[in-house]
Amino acid sequence: MNNTAHAQQQEVMVRISEIEIYPQYLEEYKTILKHEAAASVKLEDGVITIFPMFQKSTPTQVRILEIYRDQQAYQSHLKTGHFLKYKTTTLQMVRSLKLVDMDALDLEAATDIFIKLKHITVPHR
């Protein structure tokens, strides 16, 4: 990895949010989260992705891959109206939350993944 790529990788913030939702709130939570993730990616230049997923065998176990341009972009994200609405409306729905900061092993590969995703046909929401 060259010095420029290494410096860029150091700036990018990657996190996995591990969330457990109370079962009675699951469908409502998923709707709110889907809206928040879409708004974040669409409206915030510093949000590269907020990609929510849930475990097939245990749908109350939600994981979110979050990638931000840098720490400043993440801090700005926390102050947006759509994030604050998500946080306040889902507070009672969340049984547990763990934020796991990650280091990207190969940020250049991530670029290839996102380019490849552009060519996949996804059904409209």
Q: d(Cα 16, Cα 68) in Å, to the nearest integer?
A: 12
- Is 64 within the bounds of a domain? yes
Q: Is the distance from CB of 17 to CB of 37 less than 8 angstroms?
A: no
Q: Kindly tell me the sign of the dihedral angle through the C-alpha atoms of 24, 27, 28, 30.
A: positive
Mean pLDDT over 83-87 rounds to 97
Residue 125 lies in a domain: no
Note whether residue 49 is domain-resident: yes
Average pLDDT over residues 87-112: 91
pTM, two decimal places? 0.84
pLDDT value of residue 84? 97
Number of domains in the chain: 1
In a domain, 108, yes or no: yes
Q: What gap in Å lies between CA 40 and CA 69, rounded to an integer? A: 13
Estimate to the nearest angstrom the gap between the alpha carbon of 114 and the chain centroid.
14
Find the mean pLDDT for residues 110-123.
Answer: 75
For residue 75, tell me if it sits in a domain: yes
Residue 123 in any domain: the answer is: no
Averaged pLDDT, 34-55: 96
Q: How confident is the model at residue 3 (pLDDT cuts 50, 70, 90)?
A: very low
Domain assignment present for residue 124? The answer is: no
Q: How many CA atoms lie within 13 A of 35 on its CB side?
A: 15
In this prediction, residue 89 carries a pLDDT of 97
Of the chain, the percentage scoring pLDDT greater than 70 comes to 88
* Residues spanned by the domain of 62: 3-117
Query: In the prediction, which pLDDT does 77 show?
Result: 98
Query: What is the per-residue pLDDT for 122?
Result: 65
pLDDT at 108: 81
Give me the residue label for tokens 């994200």. 77
- Within a domain: residue 122? no
Residue 5 is predicted with a pLDDT of 47
Domain CATH number, residue 45: 3.30.70.100
Confidence at 1, pLDDT banded by 50, 70, 90: very low
pLDDT confidence of 107, banded at 50, 70, 90? Answer: confident
